[in-house]
Amino acid sequence: MRAKVGFHSRVASWLVGLRDPVLATCAITELGFVRVLAQAPAYGLTVAQAREILSRLKRQTAPRFDFLSDDQDLSRLSAWVRAVRQLTDGHLLQLARAHGAVLATLDRGIPGALVIPPNGSAVARASAQCTASLRTAFGLPLENAAGQTPPEVDPLLKDPAAGAGAED
């Protein structure tokens, strides 16, 4: 549980630095959110209570939430997906791309995803460079509000494996 607190802090620090973030969800991420809240004994929530929390989060104005419809069938799954544990990651990556986004994650093993930087100066640099909305369950759009590719995303567009080697 302690490591998960660190993850929360890492993501929260990153999000705080973004201007006008938009969190995008999809059926998979929403179901996962509700499942985790309802299953974890520490929360003691029912499915109905977890759904209500998600609903309240999505109604808030900052950060704003968007819902990404999912029309990505299995034929569009990335070729790097070779193991069962990679299926959902590969699907979310493709869904993000289909909506003009880059999947942002803590997982360094997803080629082409933006790895959320660790707390500290890397977060400050990444946050200062991000001027656009956050998409797909912690995803980052390819372009900022000015129509420019943020510097930390540009290397990912040129080399999808660039996001896979970031350090924690």
The pLDDT tens digits for 89-104 are 999 999 999 998 878 8
The predicted pLDDT at position 84 comes to 96
- Stretch 3-12: mean pLDDT: 73
- Stretch 29-48: mean pLDDT: 92
Q: Which residues are paired to 140 by β-bridges?
A: 102
The predicted pLDDT at position 132 comes to 33
Copy the structure tokens of residue 61: 């104005």
Domain borders along the chain are 2-165
The predicted pLDDT at position 4 comes to 55
- Write down the pTM of the prediction: 0.66
Which is nearest to 78 in space by CA: 93, 59, 100? 93
C-alpha distances in Å from residue 75, one per residue of 23, 78, 81, 136 = 26, 9, 12, 20
